Structure 1
Amino acid sequence: MATRRHILAGLVASALPRLSWADAGSPAFLAAARMSSGAFALHGLTEAGAMLFAIPLPARGHAAAAHPTRAEAVAFARRPGTYALVIGCASGTLRARLTPPDGRQFNGHGAYSADGALLYTSEVVAETSEGVVGVWDTAGWHRVDEFPSGGIGPHELRRLPGSDDLVVANGGIRTDPQDRSKLNIETMRPNLSYLSPDGAILEQAELPEELRQNSIRHLALAEDGTVAFAMQWEGDPAEPVPLLGLHRRGEALRLCPPREEDLFAMRGYAGSIARSEGMIALTSPRGGVVQLHAEDGAPLATLARPDACGVAPLPGGFLVTDGGGAITRLTPEGFRPLERTAAAWDNHLVRI
Structure 2
Amino acid sequence: MATDRVAISRRALLAGLGGIAALSAGHFSAFAGGAALLEESALDYPLFASARREADGSYGIAIIDDAGQELARVALPGRGHGIAVSPDGRRFMAFARRPGTFALLIDPFERTEPQVLTSIEGRHFYGHGCFSPDGRLVYAVENDYDAVRGVLGVYDVSGRQIRRIGEIETGGIGPHDILLAEGGKVLVVANGGIETHPSRPREKLNLDTMQPSVVFLDRERGDLLAQHSLSQNLHQLSLRHMALDGQGKVWVGGQFEGDKSLSPPLVAHMTRDSGPTLTEVPSALASGLQSYIGSVVVNASGDVIATSAPRGGQVLFWAAETGAFLGADQVVDGCGLAPLDASGFLISDGTGGLRYAEDPQSLPEILARPPGISWDNHMVTL
Stretch moving more, 106-115 or 338-347 = 338-347
Q: Which amino acid in the other structure matches residue 272 of structure 1?
A: S
- Distance (Å, rounded) in 1 between the aligned partners of 2:158 and 2:110: 18
1:313 aligns with 2:339: yes
- Distance (Å, rounded) in 1 between the aligned partners of 2:60 and 2:350: 14
1:339 aligns with 2:368: yes
Within 5 A, what are the aligned runs for 1:66-77? 66-69=85-88, 71-77=90-96
| Contact 2:38–2:71 (Cα < 8 Å) also in 1 | no
| Contact 1:20–1:70 (Cα < 8 Å) also in 2 | no
- What corresponds to 1:38 in structure 2? 57
- Distance (Å, rounded) in 1 between the aligned partners of 2:107 and 2:326: 40
1:96 aligns with 2:111: no
Q: Which amino acid in the other structure matches residue 319 of structure 1?
A: L
1:349 aligns with 2:379: yes
Cα shift at 1:24: 7.2
| Contact 2:37–2:108 (Cα < 8 Å) also in 1 | no
Measured on the aligned residues, the alpha-carbon RMSD in Å equals 1.8
| Contact 1:324–1:345 (Cα < 8 Å) also in 2 | yes
Cα shift at 1:22: 6.8
| Contact 1:111–1:120 (Cα < 8 Å) also in 2 | yes
- What corresponds to 2:354 in structure 1? 327
Cα shift at 1:20: 12
Secondary structure (helix, strand or coil) at the match of 1:49 reads coil
Stretch moving more, 116-125 or 63-72 = 63-72
| Contact 1:23–1:71 (Cα < 8 Å) also in 2 | no
1:275 aligns with 2:298: yes
- What corresponds to 2:42 in structure 1? 25
| Contact 1:193–1:201 (Cα < 8 Å) also in 2 | yes
- What corresponds to 1:158 in structure 2? 179
Q: Which amino acid in the other structure matches residue 312 of structure 2?
A: G
Q: Structure 1 stretches (4+) deviating beyond 4 angstroms?
A: 19-22
Instruction: Mark the runs of 5 or more structure 1 residues left unpaired by the alignment.
Output: 1-18
| Contact 1:24–1:91 (Cα < 8 Å) also in 2 | no
Q: Which amino acid in the other structure matches residue 313 of structure 1?
A: P
- What corresponds to 1:300 in structure 2? 326
Stretch moving more, 121-130 or 211-220 = 121-130
- What corresponds to 1:114 in structure 2? 133
| Contact 2:253–2:296 (Cα < 8 Å) also in 1 | yes
How many residues align? The count is: 334
Match of 2:234 among 202, 205, 211: 211
Q: TM-score, normalised by structure 1?
A: 0.91
- Distance (Å, rounded) in 1 between the aligned partners of 2:95 and 2:275: 32
Give per-residue Cα distances to partners, 1:65-104, cap 9 Å, x unaligned: 1112262211100111100111121247434211121100
Q: TM-score, normalised by structure 2?
A: 0.84
- Distance (Å, rounded) in 2 between the aligned partners of 1:152 and 1:67: 26
- Measured at CA, do residues 24 and 116 of structure 1 come closer, stay the same or move farther in structure 2, by a change above 3 Å? farther
- Measured at CA, do residues 258 and 71 of structure 1 come closer, stay the same or move farther in structure 2, by a change above 3 Å? same
- What corresponds to 2:9 in structure 1? none
| Contact 1:21–1:69 (Cα < 8 Å) also in 2 | no
- What corresponds to 1:255 in structure 2? 278
- What corresponds to 1:57 in structure 2? 76
- Measured at CA, do residues 24 and 182 of structure 1 come closer, stay the same or move farther in structure 2, by a change above 3 Å? farther
- What corresponds to 2:191 in structure 1? 170
| Contact 1:129–1:173 (Cα < 8 Å) also in 2 | no
Cα shift at 1:161: 4.8
- Distance (Å, rounded) in 2 between the aligned partners of 1:22 and 1:130: 42
Secondary structure (helix, strand or coil) at the match of 1:249 reads coil
Within 5 A, what are the aligned runs for 1:106-255? 106-140=125-159, 141-178=162-199, 179-197=201-219, 198-255=221-278
Give per-residue Cα distances to partners, 1:161-190, cap 9 Å, x unaligned: 522310000000002322221111111000
- Distance (Å, rounded) in 2 between the aligned partners of 1:168 and 1:92: 34
Higher strand proportion? 1
Cα shift at 1:310: 0.2
Cα shift at 1:21: 8.2
- Distance (Å, rounded) in 1 between the aligned partners of 2:100 and 2:185: 25
| Contact 2:245–2:305 (Cα < 8 Å) also in 1 | no
Higher helix proportion? 2
- Distance (Å, rounded) in 2 between the aligned partners of 1:199 and 1:146: 9
Stretch moving more, 323-332 or 43-52 = 43-52
- Distance (Å, rounded) in 1 between the aligned partners of 2:125 and 2:254: 20
| Contact 1:241–1:257 (Cα < 8 Å) also in 2 | no
Q: Which amino acid in the other structure matches residue 66 of structure 1?
A: V
- What corresponds to 1:16 in structure 2? none
Give per-residue Cα distances to partners, 1:4-29, cap 9 Å, x unaligned: xxxxxxxxxxxxxxx99872722521
- Distance (Å, rounded) in 2 between the aligned partners of 1:275 and 1:224: 11
Q: Give the share of equivalent positions with the same residue, in percent.
A: 39
Q: Which amino acid in the other structure matches residue 366 of structure 2?
A: P
| Contact 1:103–1:126 (Cα < 8 Å) also in 2 | yes
Instruction: Mark the runs of 5 or more structure 2 residues left unpaired by the alignment.
Output: 1-35
Q: Which amino acid in the other structure matches residue 217 of structure 2?
A: L
- Measured at CA, do residues 129 and 49 of structure 1 come closer, stay the same or move farther in structure 2, by a change above 3 Å? farther
